[in-house]
Structure 1
């Protein structure tokens, strides 16, 4: 299994993976809308010369702060390859790359039991709230630089491209 940066020739495979994983085109459309934005991070998992997984990070903003923070969304693995550790590998390598790029923290909206394995904690514990109405325990944050959010609180705002996601 190899994880690498998405390439131009991967775009259609990434789209197929997101549609297959989510059973709809919403996340694939979101990635297509976000891809031209800078900075973003898009990684693929490759097994036997086939792209089987994808993860995407895009910038988010916290009111009244200029910290470089990414939102993780989406992460997708082809159904036949799920439950084999590919999503875990994508998240681990994605977080490592986010840190290398100078990102200070990553937020995610997802299953607390799953994302806590990577060190994510409820964002509310750091004084952060999601702009969307979501359960507190499902909106999580991981500091890539310890303590960077200690004096930071406010609403986390996603790119407007997320507003079209249902």
Structure 2
């Protein structure tokens, strides 16, 4: 398996994988593929990685900047993370998360937030922080990871407008 930055030729495979990966997720809006497209089209994908093997894309992760109380504070949002269903539970998503966080660290990011399964994301160091709020979601599913030894921030987090894609 190789993890590399997304290339223009990967967009259709990413769209297909994302749709498949979220098709059976109970709390999914089923718009995750549209979200990735909207963020890409806006030029707001800070980090977009694919997992490939034998030339086939079977995993994807996206990171885009978020604001805290309306300000760019050097924080990023992880998501969506997608792996072809037949390849899930083989460490591919974890490898994508670790590589993405490593790249965020290299660009001197201050932190990262994620909306997702706490049992999954806490293994990477994410944790709940009552000081950071994403309106309209249960607090236990919204987590943060402070990077580069920076201090945690507090406030209302807003993702890129592409997350409102429908």
- Asked whether the two chains share a fold, i.e. TM above 0.5, the reply is yes
Corresponding residue for residue 26 of structure 1: 31
Over the aligned positions, Cα root-mean-square deviation in angstroms equals 1.6
Within 5 Å, give how 1:9-158 maps onto structure 2: 9-23=9-23, 26-35=31-40, 36-38=42-44, 40-63=46-69, 65-124=71-130, 127-130=131-134, 132-149=135-152, 152-158=153-159
Once the two structures are TM-superposed, the CA of residue 39 in structure 1 deviates from its matched residue by: 5.4
Once the two structures are TM-superposed, the CA of residue 146 in structure 1 deviates from its matched residue by: 2.0
3-state SS of the aligned residue for 1:68?
Answer: strand
Provide the C-alpha distance between the structure 2 equivalents of 1:161 and 1:65, rounded to a whole number of angstroms.
Answer: 17
Provide the C-alpha distance between the structure 2 equivalents of 1:56 and 1:75, rounded to a whole number of angstroms.
Answer: 7
Which 4+ residue blocks in structure 1 deviate beyond 3 angstroms?
none
Provide the C-alpha distance between the structure 1 equivalents of 2:15 and 2:35, rounded to a whole number of angstroms.
Answer: 10
Matched-pair contact (CA < 8 Å) for 1:18–1:25: no
Provide the C-alpha distance between the structure 1 equivalents of 2:85 and 2:37, rounded to a whole number of angstroms.
Answer: 21
Corresponding residue for residue 165 of structure 2: 164
Once the two structures are TM-superposed, the CA of residue 55 in structure 1 deviates from its matched residue by: 0.2
Matched-pair contact (CA < 8 Å) for 2:110–2:150: no
Provide the C-alpha distance between the structure 1 equivalents of 2:44 and 2:159, rounded to a whole number of angstroms.
Answer: 14
Corresponding residue for residue 26 of structure 2: none
Provide the C-alpha distance between the structure 2 equivalents of 1:164 and 1:11, rounded to a whole number of angstroms.
Answer: 17
The unaligned stretches of length 5 or more in structure 1 are none
Deviation larger for 21-30 or 106-115:
21-30
Q: How many aligned positions are there?
A: 160
Normalization by structure 2: what TM-score?
Answer: 0.90
Provide the C-alpha distance between the structure 1 equivalents of 2:120 and 2:103, rounded to a whole number of angstroms.
Answer: 20
